[in-house]
Structures are given as structure tokens and as C-alpha cells.
């Protein structure tokens, strides 16, 4: 079952990502320890697309590897 956009945002916030900017339904997230940014589009209640979940999981794994 797909996560909602709000769940992905919550996952990012929990590990220290901050929203840098937003325009319309797009938000850009960054972390001080990573050069990568994550762009999420959609309203909070929308189901996330598979590529959005993949992008979030990818940066979370990079962050975990960096702190391991």
C-alpha cells in the first residue's frame, strides 16, 4: 500500500531534513549532511508515487550509511 505524501514528509523531518522551498504542490527538502535534495509533489493526503517513495528511501539509506 502506498504511503501518503504527509508520511514521506514526516519520515524526512524525523531524520533532520528541512523544507527549503515550496511552490504550488512541490516542496524541496534538504539535509545539512547530504548534498542530495528530495522534491515531493502532491498534496499531503495524496498517495505517493512509487518513484517518490524510492527517492525518500534512497536519501534515508545514504544518511544512515553516512552515520554508520
Residue 48's alpha-carbon distances to 3, 34, 42, 53, in angstroms, are 6, 23, 8, 7
Grid cell digits, residue 41: 509533489
Residues 9-68 have pLDDT tens digits of 999 999 999 999 888 889 999 999 999 999 999 999 999 999 999 999 999 999 999 877
Q: Which helix (H) or strand (E) holds 8?
A: helix 5-14
Sorted by where each starts, the structural domains of the chain and their CATH numbers stand as 5-62 (3.30.920.30)
Grid cell digits, residue 67: 552515520
6 confidence band (pLDDT: 50, 70, 90) = very high
1 confidence band (pLDDT: 50, 70, 90) = confident
pTM for this predicted structure: 0.92
Amino acid at each position: 500500500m502506498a504511503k501518503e505524501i504527509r508520511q514521506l514528509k514526516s519520515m524526512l523531518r524525523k531524520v533532520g531534513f528541512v523544507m527549503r522551498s515550496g511552490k504550488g504542490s512541490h516542496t524541496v527538502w534538504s539535509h545539512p549532511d547530504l548534498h542530495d535534495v528530495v522534491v515531493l509533489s502532491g498534496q499531503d493526503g495524496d498517495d505517493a508515487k512509487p518513484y517518490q517513495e524510492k527517492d525518500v528511501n534512497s536519501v534515508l539509506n545514504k544518511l544512515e550509511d553516512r552515520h554508520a
